[in-house]
Amino acid sequence: MVFQMSRLAARVSLSKSVGFISGTENRWPSHLNFISRLAHRSFHALCSEGRGSASIKALPSRGVLRKAGRWEKVSTASKSLHWQSGGAVKPLRSGMVVLGAVGVSAALLASLRTSTLHAMSARPGLNLDSENSDWKEAKNKLCSMDKEKRREMYRVDFIPLEKIPVWSPSGDSCKPQYQVNEELNKKISLFTGDITKLEIDSIANAANKTLLGGGGVDGAIHRGAGPLLKKECATLNSCETGEAKITGAYGLPAKYVIHTVGPIVHDSVGEREEQALRNCYYNCLHTATKNHLRTVAFPCISTGVYGYPPEQAVEVALRTVREYLEQNHEKLDRVIFCVFLKSDKELYETMLSAYFPRGSPPKSKL
Ligand code: AR6
């Protein structure tokens, strides 16, 4: 148990020091305070635990940590520590308590120096998990980091652009509605999965007007990015339907999030809803190119709780992107349609060949 406690101390003191690194180096007094509070809490936990043992439960982590660097691993693990104290308070034998407390304190102090030094060397003074961090400072620091450094900050697994293949037709296809343009075809991908994982310049968010987060893809983006995203969003004074607003992406592998608000469909799609959805795609693309972002991924905007029928939305999405690329192909390297549901995947697989048709393969001379 003493061993468990010392491991806890190492984790907690290490993660606590995340927020300390950027400023002055002499942090010992606050650390010691913290450690002593922790020891005190441990002691209480020991005393009040029904079976005479304090247990530490690490909740399932975000799955993040596999690739995002050990620093994040430590910080997340410490965040998810939960004290469990059983039911009734029963006195422990005093010898056990004293021995336990002495052991815990020694282990805590011994772990302190190593963990602090380790933390100072491993982390570039940035805490993306704390809502007390300054979002502007975090955003600037992230922007100035090279890819390797940024990867240490990701709060989720990532998929690099090289792993996202350019779309090629498979299965059913539709009658072409546009001319074959192989240059444009090279800029299109269909990705099935979680948009928050994509390590690209920008991802679009199907947000609501408040921009303060919600469910669906919006919730996933806010969870992945961490609390600073909401802080920046709160400065944007909301967003009207069809508009787009850009923020940093914080703990996400993408560099920026472009938030847009899709139309809500109550009964059926009218001209107003269709125009609003077109505006969403157009304004996201325009925001990306205006900010020199060369890759952008879209979820199926409005087709979740906002009720836009997916088989109608796919046509608006593909047509708007096709027409934008025709005018601005030199400004974008890749537009990724990110689908989450099998039904949407099938829909896009079928419809892509209408908007981005392939040339017929050369005939064999044999
Ligand atoms: N990655 C990619 N696509 C996703 C993900 C994900 N992680 N999660 C869901 N989707 P919705 P809306 C797909 O409801 O209809 C929020 O509460 C999902 O399968 O997220 O525009 C906002 O705050 C669907 O195909 O967005 C708003 O209040 C698509 O994303 C409201 O929902 C959009 O579904 C916006 O509703």
Statement to judge: residues 346 and 211 lie in one domain = yes
362 is a domain residue: no
What integer pLDDT is reported at residue 270 of this predicted model? 97
The residue with greater pLDDT, 80 or 134, is 134
97 burial type by CB count under 10 A (0-12 exposed, 13-18 middle, 19+ buried): middle
- Cα–Cα dist 305/301, whole Å: 10
128 is a domain residue: no
Query: In sequence order, which residues have a C-beta less than 8 Å from that of residue 49 and are 6 or more positions away?
Result: 55, 84, 85, 86
Between 68-82, 235-249, 349-363, the lowest mean confidence (pLDDT) is in 68-82
44-73 tens-digit pLDDT:
333 333 333 333 233 333 333 333 333 333
Rg (CA), the chain: 26
Q: What percent of the chain has pLDDT over 90?
A: 61
What integer pLDDT is reported at residue 359 of this predicted model? 77
pLDDT band at 364 (very low <50, low <70, confident <90, very high): low
What integer pLDDT is reported at residue 1 of this predicted model? 42
- Provide DSSP, 333-362: SEEEEEE-SHHHHHHHHHHHHHHSPPPPPP
pLDDT band at 146 (very low <50, low <70, confident <90, very high): very high
Residues flanking ligand 1, CB < 6 Å = 194-196, 206-208, 214-218, 220, 262, 299-306, 338, 340-341, 344
- Cα–Cα dist 68/23, whole Å: 24
Statement to judge: residues 100 and 175 lie in one domain = no
Closest of 325, 257, 264 to residue 297, by C-alpha: 257
Q: How far is the CA of 220 from the centre of ligand 1 (A)?
A: 9
279-335 tens-digit pLDDT:
999 999 999 999 999 999 999 999 999 999 999 999 999 999 999 999 999 999 999
Element (H, E) at 198: strand 198-199
Ligand 1 atom showing the smallest separation from residue 303 Cα: 15
- Cα–Cα dist 252/349, whole Å: 27
Q: How far is the CA of 94 from the centre of ligand 1 (A)?
A: 56
Q: For residue 32, which amino acid is it?
A: L
Statement to judge: residues 252 and 346 lie in one domain = yes
Statement to judge: residues 271 and 321 lie in one domain = yes
Closest of 4, 11, 31, 36 to residue 105, by C-alpha: 36
Ligand 1 atom showing the smallest separation from residue 214 Cα: 23
CA atoms lying within 13 Å on the CB side of residue 261: 14
What integer pLDDT is reported at residue 24 of this predicted model? 29
The CATH number given to whatever domain includes residue 213 is 3.40.220.10
Closest of 87, 95, 92 to residue 47, by C-alpha: 92
366 is a domain residue: no
**Ligand 1 pocket: which of 305, 338, 347 to mutate (most atoms <8 Å of CB)?**
305
Reading the block at residue 175, the tokens are 């009658």
> Under DSSP, is residue 9 helix (H, G, I), strand (E, B) or coil?
helix
pLDDT, mean of residues 76-100: 37
- Cα–Cα dist 67/74, whole Å: 13
Q: How far is the CA of 315 from the centre of ligand 1 (A)?
A: 18
Q: Which domain holds residue 114?
A: 2-122
364 is a domain residue: no
Q: How far is the CA of 38 from the centre of ligand 1 (A)?
A: 41
Query: In sequence order, which residues have a C-beta less than 8 Å from that of residue 30 and are 6 or more positions away?
Result: 20
pTM across the whole model: 0.71
Domain count of the chain? Answer: 2
Statement to judge: residues 238 and 348 lie in one domain = yes
127 is a domain residue: no
Between 65-69, 95-99, 192-196, 290-294, the lowest mean confidence (pLDDT) is in 65-69
Statement to judge: residues 182 and 329 lie in one domain = yes
Indicate the residue among 98, 122, 146 that finishes a domain.
122
Statement to judge: residues 88 and 8 lie in one domain = yes
**Ligand 1 pocket: which of 301, 340, 345 to mutate (most atoms <8 Å of CB)?**
340
What integer pLDDT is reported at residue 85 of this predicted model? 30
pLDDT, mean of residues 227-251: 98
Element (H, E) at 281: helix 271-290
**Helix 94-122 vs helix 70-79: angle between axes, to the nearest 10 degrees?**
140
pLDDT, mean of residues 158-175: 88
Q: How far is the CA of 122 from the centre of ligand 1 (A)?
A: 36
Q: Does the structure show a pLDDT above 50 at 30?
A: no
Largest CA distance in the chain: 93
The residue with greater pLDDT, 61 or 213, is 213
Q: At residue 298, what are phi and psi to the nearest 5 degrees?
A: -115, 135
Between 90-94, 135-139, 262-266, 343-347, the lowest mean confidence (pLDDT) is in 90-94
